[in-house]
Chain A
């Protein structure tokens, strides 16, 4: 759908030009147009133009990888909203979260969604791993994508763990105390790792700001980079499809 030179109505011609400048092709009325649309659209380009039908059957993928990515996006968006209210200080963090829950318009829904989506993502990423294992989809030539996936699972757990502290309530501080105490048991490096993670000997302001920075910037960036490579390799290493 591009501006037709012969168009008599100037308004219609302008609208056609506007549309054509944004979307290079019209609605996918047939495979050729659909293929061209996928090729020229940045966001659709995450997929190949054509794919084996058996590789994308819902009963085969169970949508688990896609759902994990969707939850990551949902968590990024809801997390962004939460950041407008949240100040990572031991004096204000708890009150900020209380305000989100009881004062800010839709604050409770956004916070609830962030929390439940985070739990859901841990589950979907885990199930995605199990699905890939049971179908042997990690076998050559996809070995390295499995390795990237393992790191993505660890990043997901660390993202959830670092977010756990931020509400600064009794649940948060003690879960992180118990969790980081486990790090102490590693020989030699254990106590140092714990000190590095907490920025001190106990869970206090130092730990809150470290976990906050890890949670909102460092881990999402690393996770995003790994995801980009993961998706790229799904395309480049080829699809498995039905057993």
Chain B
């Protein structure tokens, strides 16, 4: 914490500590017994401190998307035709993991049980996790479980998107290219 000019800003931005008047007498009895770390007390005015950072983040995202949009065209294939089924027919990438599950498990499991379980479990997470601590070292089980979930979700999407070719069969050539050709096709 840098030195603070009364009612003003220090050199690192608009940072002022909350006034810490000594508490005594009846006031003390009503004060909750919470010991706060010094840095918790350090506050900033959201305007302009936070708003400026948000503006910069938004600007960076906009410039990035603009550059991508100039360079890369959104896909547009032939006009929709119900009589021509593309092979493979794939769901949008964020549902391709679900499609991959359907390939491996009976539909009632992959299409209904797993997704419902994930959604319900996700909604109930804060009520099931009774551990009050937020420190990573106190919540190893929660972190490991969630990490397994994240890795599985990402893996199924990657497999469905990049390793499934015709008829949704396993296909290395999508990323490795056809044998005998120098570059991936």
Check if A24 is an interface residue, CB within 8 A of chain B.
no
Q: Which residues of chain B come closer than 8 Å to A130, judged between CB atoms?
A: 146, 150
B65 x A241 contact (CB < 8 A) = no
Residue of A whose beta carbon sits closest to that of B133: A136
Inter-chain CA distance A204–B81, complex, in Å, is 10
B80 x A94 contact (CB < 8 A) = yes
Interface centre among A30, A50, A101, A111 (most CB of B within 10 A): A50
Check if A170 is an interface residue, CB within 8 A of chain B.
yes
B79 x A112 contact (CB < 8 A) = no
CB distance from B114 to the nearest CB of A (A): 11
Residue of B whose beta carbon sits closest to that of A240: B134
Interface centre among A38, A109, A139, A241 (most CB of B within 10 A): A139
Q: Which residues of chain A come closer than 8 Å to B93, judged between CB atoms?
A: 119
CB distance from B165 to the nearest CB of A (A): 15
CB distance from A101 to the nearest CB of B (A): 6
Residue of B whose beta carbon sits closest to that of A119: B93
Check if B73 is an interface residue, CB within 8 A of chain A.
yes
B134 x A135 contact (CB < 8 A) = yes
Residues A170 and B133 in contact in the complex (CB < 8 Å), given A31-B45, A112-B72: no
Chain B 68-95 interface mask (CB, 8 Å, partner A; 1/0)? 1110111111111110111001111111
Indicate the size class of the contact surface on chain A.
35 or more
Determine the main DSSP class of A at the interface with B.
helix
Inter-chain CA distance A117–B68, complex, in Å, is 10
B111 x A186 contact (CB < 8 A) = yes
A63, A67, A90, A134: the one contacting B143 at CB < 8 Å is: A134
B-facing residues in A58-72 (Cβ within 8 Å): 58, 63, 66-67, 70-71
Q: Which residues of chain B come closer than 8 Å to A171, judged between CB atoms?
A: 75-77, 86
Residues A116 and B57 in contact in the complex (CB < 8 Å), given A38-B45, A150-B122, A185-B108: no
Q: Which residues of chain A come closer than 8 Å to B78, judged between CB atoms?
A: 169-170
Binding site for A on B (CB under 8 A): 7-9, 14-16, 39-40, 42-51, 53-54, 57-58, 61-62, 65-66, 68-70, 72-82, 84-86, 89-95, 98-99, 102, 107-108, 110-112, 119, 122-123, 125-127, 129, 132-136, 139, 142-143, 146, 150
Binding site for B on A (CB under 8 A): 28, 30-32, 34-35, 37-38, 41, 44, 47-54, 56, 58, 63, 66-67, 70-71, 74, 90, 94, 97-98, 101, 108-109, 111-117, 119-120, 122, 130, 133-140, 142-144, 146-147, 150, 154, 157, 160-161, 164, 167-175, 177-179, 182-187, 190, 202-204, 240-243
